[in-house]
Chain A
Amino acid sequence: MYMFSQFFQDALFAAIAAIGFAAISNPPKRAYLYCAIIAAIGHSTRFLLMSTPAFHLHIVLATTIASFIIGILAVLFSPLAKTPAETCLFPSLLPMIPGMYAYRAFGGLAMCIYNGGENDFSHYFYLFANNGLTCLFILLGMTIGATIPIFIFKKISFQATR
């Protein structure tokens, strides 16, 4: 029951996050609803893949699979919304952008320089490399996962605004 409520909370807050972050990039008004639905399904899928004992996937793999689902939904919804696939796709992916990993990588780098000792340097360099690589691979996985459906359904993706 707890897992169930966590799952729905994740979907709800991901939908709000997608609408808000989408608003920054000026999408057409009709795209907001589709972005919210797609982000809710995608983010809660990632939550399931990472949290349930049956899967317990690493964040990179879970994000790639969730992005693939987001990509399929964005391609299918884009003719309904009469927008290019990216208009529904990119804002829906925004709640999964590894922002915290990105700035922690920079924070680690700054601490490397700030702390002169070898042990401290090694520790903060590890944090820099770990966060930076995780961030890069999440981004790569996200883009590959989300782009594959665009190329599979090329005709739908590039004719959505027709």
Chain B
Amino acid sequence: MDTTISDIVSAKTMLPVKTQPTCRQLCLFLSEYAAWLLGCGATCIRLEKNVNRIAEAFDKHVDMCIMPRHIHLTVSSHDRHISFTAISSIRCKAISFDINTRLSRLSWEIADEKIDFTQVQHRFEVITKTPPANKWLVLFLASAANASFCRLFGGDLLAMGIVFVATLAGFYLKQILTENKVDVRIVFIICAFVSSVLGATDGLFGLGTTPGVAIGTSVLYLVPGIPFLNSFSDMLDRHYVCAFSRFMDAMILTACLSIGLCGGMFMMNVDMF
């Protein structure tokens, strides 16, 4: 029977039975869960494993179709007599390994501790309200990272300093434009342009000995590394539609980055090759 029964006592064990969700309740919850997990940058294999784990913990069967921007999910009772289907659009659009980690942990808490469904929903609500990392800290760390990158490519100390400033300005602009809901492709073009113009000052004023490295690495903070890795990971797992979509997203962002960089180099009269 597929009905909600809370706080009843099992006749066999005399232990309280936890609230069991109906197919409808579980389906709606899982479609939200999957939409958040996909949106925060989880791979398809992680998504399938977590969703199946939760469904099995509640003694239900789940079939799922993962599309690049939607989740199509059917939950059915064990005997397949009752089923419910839902389609959800992806929720969180910024990559967050923190949310990914906490949602994965929630799936294990459900599987191991068999926590109550109402508790599960409450914990899920808390997780979805996870605030992003401090923007000033991220700004500083990303700038330091790009300056280190400049060093890895053989840049001198002056080039590192210029790349730090170019990244600081470009990344800050990215944060402001993203907050103002400007299209991500336009954001990438503008930020790459600003960073490359600032990166070109090394050569323009003859400050250091590695001006080429400074301008080349000044835009590397914009390279969409996680989408590239996710796309290849999905491809190896034979989720070709998601893999292709993620790859195209990453390629378009890289193309926008290149347009901004070429514009900056053209303006500063610097050759790419």
Interface residues of A (CB under 8 A from B): 9-10, 13-14, 16-28, 31, 43, 82-84, 86-87, 90-91, 93-95, 97, 99-100, 102-104, 106-108, 110-111, 124, 127, 139-140, 142-144, 146-147, 158-159, 161-162
Contact = CB atoms under 8 A, between A and B. Distances in A.
Given A82-B105, A84-B46, A144-B236, A25 B141 contact: no
B117 interface: no
Contacts of A100: 153, 216-217, 220
Contacts of A127: 273
Contacts of A10: 152
A103 B49 contact: no
B94 A26 contact: yes
B56 interface: no
Interface in B131-148: 132-133, 137-138, 141-146, 148
Contacts of A20: 141-146, 148, 221
Given A17-B145, A20-B145, A97 B95 contact: no
A87 B147 CA distance: 23
B148 A90 contact: no
A86 B97 contact: yes
A26 B225 contact: no
A31 B142 contact: no
B183 interface: no
Minimum-distance CB pairs A-B, first 5: A20-B145, A106-B258, A99-B223, A143-B232, A13-B148
25 contacts: A16-B144, A17-B152, A20-B144, A21-B142, A24-B221, A25-B226, A26-B96, A26-B98, A26-B132, A26-B133, A84-B101, A86-B46, A86-B233, A87-B97, A87-B100, A90-B97, A90-B230, A93-B225, A97-B225, A103-B257, A107-B262, A139-B228, A140-B232, A161-B104, A161-B108
B221 A95 contact: no
B105 to A, nearest CB: 4
A6 B200 CA distance: 26
B273 A25 contact: no
A88 to B, nearest CB: 9
A113 B98 CA distance: 43
B interface, size bucket: 35 or more
Contact of A94 (B132, B225, B257): B225
Nearest to B112: A162
A158 B272 CA distance: 43
Contacts of A13: 148-149, 151-152
A97 B229 CA distance: 9
B243 to A, nearest CB: 10
Contacts of B21: none
A66 to B, nearest CB: 13
Given A104-B273, A107-B272, A14 B97 contact: no
A14 B255 contact: no
A22 B101 CA distance: 14
Given A27-B98, A28-B101, A99-B220, A17 B149 contact: yes
B261 interface: yes
B254 interface: yes
Contacts of A23: 133, 137-138, 141-142, 145
Q: Which residue of B42, B95, B153, B226 has the most chain A CB atoms within 10 A of its CB atom?
A: B226
Contact of B98 (A28, A107, A146, A147): A28
B7 to A, nearest CB: 28
Interface in B237-273: 254-255, 257-259, 261-262, 272-273
Q: Which residue of A26, A100, A111 has the most chain B CB atoms within 10 A of its CB atom?
A: A26
